[in-house]
Amino acid sequence: MRRYVKSRSELMAILSQCLDNNPECGEMELHAMRVHQPDHTGCNWSAEVDLRQECFDDLSQQMAAARSIIVVMREQYNVLQ
């Protein structure tokens, strides 16, 4: 699959918006993004999410929802290097 190429800041903004727009993600937010050599999937970035505030209700569901968004985004985008 061909990936779109975005700057690091553009991709961070897109990913943050996707997390914010998905109610299943609850209080999850983008914490960090690392750019690296392409991995076995061909993707050249990774992301970490964290809680905006200490709210542990449905934490596993929120993490799963955020992870699924990140997986899809990693399939669609690479960071311009």
Residues 28-59 have pLDDT tens digits of 899 999 999 999 999 999 999 998 776 667 78
Is the pTM of the predicted complex or chain greater than 0.85? yes
Residue 60 has pLDDT above 90, yes or no: no
Say how far apart CA 38 and CA 55 lie, in whole Å.
34
How many domains does the chain contain in total?
1
> 21: domain range?
4-79
Residue 67 has pLDDT above 90, yes or no: yes
- Kindly report each contact of residues 56-63 with a partner whose C-beta sits within 8 Å and lies 24 or more positions away, as own/partner: 57/26, 58/26, 61/24, 61/26, 62/24, 62/25, 62/26, 62/27, 62/28, 63/28
User: Is residue 4 within 8 Å of 51, Cβ to Cβ?
Assistant: no
Predicted pLDDT of residue 56: 64
| Average pLDDT for the chain | 92
**Axis-axis angle for helices 59-76, 8-21 (nearest 10):** 140
- What local confidence, expressed as pLDDT, does residue 59 receive? 83
C-alpha separations of 25 from 1, 28, 49, 60 in Å: 26, 6, 10, 10
